[in-house]
Structure 1
Amino acid sequence: MSELETTPHVRSVVGVSGSPTRPSRTTALIAEVAETYATILGATATIIELAPLLGQLGQGPFRSDIGPDARAALEVVEQADLIVVGSPAYRATYTGLFKLFFDHVGQYALIDKPIVLTATGGSDRHALLVEHQMRPLFGFFQSLTLPLGIFASENDFVDYRVASDELRSRIDLTVRRTLPLLAAHRQLDARAEAATPEFARPDAF
């Protein structure tokens, strides 16, 4: 089967960087991954940095309380066809900013949404952040977390840009190995949508 036959119809790839700083290695990693997907899929890549949205996200406990830019970012993520998420490791988990943003995402907005998990850290000892912290979070959202996560350490960057050929190879491998999964997911999702009564669909609640 050719790559063309296994390429899903994806219009938008959205990256979400949970780094509280700019510039950011996490943002650089997410941009590299999102743009690689977008290039192969013929999609548009959009990168959302949460650092500038911190003040708006902290304006209140409810989505109606937060600022307009933060609400717009949430809507972009919820409408994306494919999401690349990432956070730097901080105290053995993702940042509070990352969690705060996804606390405002609609509970049913990411059901079956393909999610690519990435993370960065000072050394490889933080690599399990992807599996032990990030994957369970998106399990709550009932998202389709793709099986190959991507972790990068400080040594993979120069001047906040991806500089490691080994990391680029892992990104390329992750992207290409998930294309058939994305294609199968889109086909199954379309069939399930057609066969599911309207009252039983998640957005009916």
Structure 2
Amino acid sequence: MTVTVVVGNPKPASRTLSAGVALAAALRPETEPAVIDLVDLGPGLLGWGDPAVAAAARTVAGSELVIFASPTFKATYTGLLKLFLEQFDGGTGLAGVVAVPLMLGAGPAHALAPDLLLKPVLVELGATTALPGLYLSDRTFGEDGVLTAYADRWRPVVQALSTVPSVK
């Protein structure tokens, strides 16, 4: 199974990246994920035709499981992630991809943000979003057990979805 983590944090090597990689490892421990830290793509995200952005989009579209990770920023996901998601065609751009929305925040006030704000965009782009989004505390996710409990609950679903023939 091809697994990719897309990180929409404007800070490189962020806690968001750490959480995304940890979730990918917990859901598919036998697979080393590709990591796309969008901050590394910089101004290439602002236009069309940048080769590095196009390569990143191809990696995502060709993946079976993608963790889309973002900090909660102004009560939603970051503009950096939005710019990247605009690279995909509506309805078909993420067809065949199982997408998991992951967001981190300082407190529980935005706990519904992954499902309420990020998941609909992923669905609009054609992704399969069978798993609920995951919201983590950006300060305690490494030791609070929430990520592990989520992965334990949803790993069998990811496994089942990866055995379904792809439409790619």
Given the two structures, how large is their TM-score scaled by the length of structure 1? 0.73
**Distance in 1 of aligned mates of 2:123 and 2:84:** 16
State the SS of the aligned residue for 2:136. Answer: strand
Counterpart among 109, 115, 130 of residue 93 in structure 2: 109
Counterpart among 134, 137, 143 of residue 121 in structure 2: 137
**8 Å Cα contact 1:148-1:174 kept in structure 2:** no
**Distance in 1 of aligned mates of 2:159 and 2:87:** 31
**Distance in 2 of aligned mates of 1:174 and 1:27:** 22
The corresponding residue for 1:159 is none
**8 Å Cα contact 1:17-1:30 kept in structure 2:** yes
**Distance in 2 of aligned mates of 1:142 and 1:30:** 21
The corresponding residue for 2:107 is 123
**8 Å Cα contact 1:36-1:175 kept in structure 2:** no
Q: Which runs of 5+ in 1 are unaligned?
A: 1-9, 157-161, 194-202
Q: Whose radius of gyration is greater, 1 or 2?
A: 1
Shift, 1:14, TM fit: 0.4
Alignment of 1:20-99 (within 5 A): 20-39=10-29, 42-58=30-46, 60=47, 62=48, 64=49, 66=50, 68-99=51-82
Q: State whether structure 2 residue 168 is matched by structure 1 residue 178.
A: no
Q: CA RMSD in A?
A: 2.0
**Distance in 1 of aligned mates of 2:134 and 2:120:** 16
Percent identity among equivalent residues? Answer: 25
Q: After superposition, give the CA deviation of every residue in 1:154-176 in whole Å (9 maximum; x if it has no partner).
A: 331xxxxx521412422432442
State the SS of the aligned residue for 1:116. Answer: strand
Amino acid at match of 1:57: L
Q: Which runs of 5+ in 2 are unaligned?
A: none
Amino acid at match of 1:25: R
Number of aligned pairs? 167
Given the two structures, how large is their TM-score scaled by the length of structure 2? 0.88
Amino acid at match of 1:147: L
**Distance in 1 of aligned mates of 2:34 and 2:60:** 9
What stretches of structure 1 move > 3 A for 4+ residues in a row?
Answer: none
Amino acid at match of 1:116: V
